[in-house]
Amino acid sequence: MKRVIITGAAGFLGSHLAKELVAKGCDVIGIDNLSTGLRANVRELEGKPNFRFVERDVTSIEPAIEPEFAGVTEIYHLASPASPKFYQASPLETIAANTLGTRNMLEVARCLQAKFLYASTSEVYGDADVHPQPEDYCGKINTWGPRACYYEAKRLGEVYCFEYYRIHQVRMRIARIFNTYSAGLRNDDGRVISNFLTQALNGEEITVYGDGQQTRCFCYVDDTVRGLQAMMESEAAEGQIFNIGNPADYTILEIAQLIKQMTASDSAITFCPLPADDPRQRCPSIEKAKQILGWEPKIDLEEGLRRTIAAYKRALAGETRDENG
């Protein structure tokens, strides 16, 4: 049975990946400090013999004295706040998770000779002036804005990966993940799909930041998680960066209108101030992932939203039943 470590296992992507790997029969060790993740996300896994939850901070992992990691052959390093709301509330912790935390997990990979996948982000491209963004685009960013703690830490995390690859031959690969969604996002996560759906279904105002003309691409979680696994399985992915995202782009106003229409909501759409450094356009080139991994997303936005809305409605109905006893 393959032994795998997932850091950030109680988070949105980590818990989804853990469920997939446990279902495939892998022996999964999920590490998380529960800063933005929820124990409830791994509750159903905790009863399974091939899943173990370890409440730890990746910045305090010491590979030399961690016998419980013996036999691990794959490490998915996902631990980091991901929502702008959360990483801007904890900038120093975000920097530490992606720099010291990444170095610690690379040390674990070196000691165990395990394959390593680092969850980086499309944010490393910043307010890009190239569209769509290919992996060799260097980005347009600054060191002083509110997003810098996240994308600069991710960039240094990538540098650590490349140095461990060059110096210690750690078999790393880097996923630059673009906006991913499903019902698994926390309602208070602050990212756009969870905000708009929660607002639309509760009859609250839908809060579009700025004029809503900024664009994003949205990948359904199943596609992203399949992309991460394809990267881990591919030898050709070693030492490489891949964009993992859905290249169909939408303005944020279009997203608000689509969600309002698909939920048949009476909510009004309101315009709020645009946060500082909010990228205007973001869209992945996925040619490299298609060619080398044979990966591309299969679930379009409407289908992904249909599934997400159905799950939100089931959760709301459950809450109502609970309230009524």
Catalytic residues: 150
Q: Which is nearest to 46 in space by CA: 10, 2, 81, 99?
A: 10
Please check whether residue 59 is in contact with residue 101, taking contact to mean a CB–CB distance below 8 angstroms.
Answer: yes
Distance CA(245)–CA(240), nearest Å, equals 16
Least gap, CB of 98 to ligand NAD (angstroms)? 7
Q: Does 146 bind ligand UDP (CB under 6 A)?
A: no
Site for ligand NAD in 104-163 (CB under 6 A): 119, 121
Q: Does 297 bind ligand NAD (CB under 6 A)?
A: no
Q: Does 14 bind ligand NAD (CB under 6 A)?
A: yes
Nearest residue (CB) to ligand NAD, 224 versus 265 = 224
Whether a cis peptide bond, with omega within 30° of 0, leads into 132 is yes
Least gap, CB of 311 to ligand UDP (angstroms)? 18
List 20, 34, 187, 275, residue binding ligand NAD (CB under 6 A): 34
Amino acid identity, position 53: F
List 4, 5, 6, 11, residue binding ligand NAD (CB under 6 A): 11
Strands 215-217 and 249-251: antiparallel
Q: Does 8 bind ligand NAD (CB under 6 A)?
A: yes
CB burial string 59-68: b at 16+ within 10 A, e below: bebeeeebee
| DSSP β-bridge partners for residue 28 | 4, 51
CB burial string 169-204: b at 16+ within 10 A, e below: ebbbbbbbbbbbbbbbbbeebebbbbbbbbbbbeee
List 4, 19, 37, 279, residue binding ligand NAD (CB under 6 A): 37
Q: Does 257 bind ligand UDP (CB under 6 A)?
A: no
Binding mask 51-90 for ligand NAD (x = CB under 6 A): ------xxx------------------xxxxx--------
Interacting residue ranges for ligand NAD, rule: CB under 6 A: 7-8, 10-14, 31-37, 57-59, 78-82, 97, 101, 119, 121, 177, 179-180
